[in-house]
Amino acid sequence: MIYLVEFRPIDKATGETVVLRFGSHGYTTAPGDDPPNAQFVGRLQGPGQYDRFLFSRGRTRGESAVGAGEITIVNADGKLDWLLELAFDGRPFTLWGLPDRFSPWSTRQVLLAGSTEQAEFPGRLVSISILGRLVLLREAIQPLAYLGTTTSGGLSVAEGNVDLRDVKKPLLFGSARNIPALTVDQFDNVYQVSSNALAAITAVRDSGVALTATQDYPTLAALKAAMMTGGQFATCLALGLVRTQVRPDGSLTVDAAEGAAVADRSAARLVRRMIGDLMPVAEEDFDLLHEANPAECGLWIAQGETTVLSAAMSVLNSVGGYLTDDRLGQIRVGRFDLAADGGEVTIGRSVILDQGQGFAREATQDDGAGVPARSVTVRYARAYTTLSDEDLKDVAATDAYRSFAKEEWRQVKVESATNKVQHPKGPELVFDTSLTTEADARAEAERLLAIYGTRRDLFAVMVSSGKATTLDVGDAMTLRVDRFGMGEGRALRIVGLVQTFANNLTRIEAIG
């Protein structure tokens, strides 16, 4: 097999895209190909090693790891020194494989598509760091910040005073309770819950005392002109704003929802809105994840630097979800479950290469290292503002609200009586989620105990890359070896692929 790679950095002097093409052998496309007559210079020394994991290595939860590796190009004559003047960070690249240098361009196979990070010049080489396109989701989820220009009453904006200048605006995805409303116009008593449009503001409280809703207004001007009496509030849902007639005596907290209906507030639907058009996505994946768990979720993002990836994984972890990019650079999502069947690929002893131990059984990197859990606790329905007994002492709040506001989280706990006896030192796992109801939290806790209440094995096998061309992280596979009772085959879930293209090797890491 030969390897061909195309980079598209930016010329910093002109701002124009520069197309760079290299191959492990020289190769030129035919006049009728797309692109026509494209020359790949035979300087590609190492098509690289590329590591991809469903989460962090050996884990089945947490933030998705961005794939990483490097590609090396021969520069013994120094003729590529000019690449130092190009900007590689965040620019796309594509790596193809062809059977040989005489194969037509139409037989190429995309091995990897991602982003470059930087070019370094170690000795006689150019080394270009590469990352999966998931890195594009490390952008701040909120680009908007307050201007800090609302320094008097009667203005046509609500941008906070100088203390809020350059502070990121809050965001809400889904449903959340007891959100601390931010003062954006202290002169006209205007407060912001979220800079994105809301579907509803269901409650507004002044130090726990419920205010009375009046109506919603379409613009800030109309909201400021609204006539109200003390103890009332009005909203501008389109701008995520609340206005009270009089200044609150204490903290103003809000219950609110984004997403037109409960069906629009599942983990899958929230994350799809977070990603927007930042990257191409597999839409069917989001539909399947929604079907697997349509439970209502909610995440309020306060003023601060939160990335799209971090916010998305906060929500996806609520339902055991994962987010990754495939070889083509497309976003894929799903739910981590132990494999019920072995998929379409079986790896047997005959294809496992004799590299070191051939294959190995390793401990997972999850809490407890794969030892069965004694219990699982799922925390849900977060109160984004908590109040103490002292805060509520002389307040006419309901008993239900008092109970709710004093605790940041509600929680449900499920236990394994068997594991408490057989694994007395097994972990007691606690998961924070964005779920909003007890029923959904309990269902997730029981699902998690079914996974983490059993022994989990991590197997690593080395195979020729040709045996793994159809495999991707998140896929199911069958491992069939005469060890550990796997003579008839065992269904596993792939959580890691380490691809060494130069040696045509792939290390598969799978859990079951």
> Which tokens belong to 291?
């079907």
pTM greater than 0.85 (yes/no): yes
Place of tokens 């690929």: 345
The predicted-structure confidence for 151-169, as pLDDT tens digits, reads as follows: 998 889 999 999 999 999 9
82 and 65 in a common domain: yes
237 and 177 in a common domain: yes
The answer to whether residue 143 is domain-embedded is: no
The predicted-structure confidence for 81-120, as pLDDT tens digits, reads as follows: 999 999 999 999 999 999 999 999 999 988 888 899 999 9
pLDDT in the model for residue 136: 87
| CATH code for position 506 | 2.40.10
241 and 128 in a common domain: no
The predicted-structure confidence for 181-192, as pLDDT tens digits, reads as follows: 999 999 999 999
| CATH code for position 307 | 3.55.50
pLDDT in the model for residue 233: 97
State which residues form the domain around 280: 262-335
Last residue of a domain, one of 404, 425, 452: 452
What's the domain count of the chain? 5
Can you list the pairs that 22-25 forms with residues at least 24 positions away whose Cβ atoms lie under 8 Å? Answer: 22/73, 23/101, 25/101
pLDDT in the model for residue 445: 98
110 and 45 in a common domain: yes
Last residue of a domain, one of 223, 257, 291: 257
The answer to whether residue 199 is domain-embedded is: yes
The answer to whether residue 147 is domain-embedded is: no
The answer to whether residue 266 is domain-embedded is: yes
The answer to whether residue 341 is domain-embedded is: no
The answer to whether residue 155 is domain-embedded is: no
Which DSSP string do the residues of 136-147 spell out, in sequence order? GGGSBS---B--
Pairing of strands 490-500, 49-53: antiparallel
pLDDT in the model for residue 47: 84
359 and 322 in a common domain: no
List of the chain residues with pLDDT < 70:
355-358
Half-sphere exposure of 434 (CA within 13 A, CB side): 31
pLDDT in the model for residue 356: 54
Last residue of a domain, one of 206, 238, 257: 257
pLDDT in the model for residue 52: 85
pLDDT in the model for residue 184: 97
482 and 350 in a common domain: yes
The answer to whether residue 54 is domain-embedded is: yes
314 and 359 in a common domain: no
The answer to whether residue 89 is domain-embedded is: yes
324 and 184 in a common domain: no
241 and 273 in a common domain: no
pLDDT in the model for residue 135: 86
Q: What distance, in Å, lies between the first and last C-alpha atoms of the chain?
A: 33
Which DSSP string do the residues of 264-280 spell out, in sequence order? G-SHHHHHHHHHTTSS-
358 and 491 in a common domain: yes
pLDDT in the model for residue 48: 74
76 and 183 in a common domain: no
119 and 39 in a common domain: yes
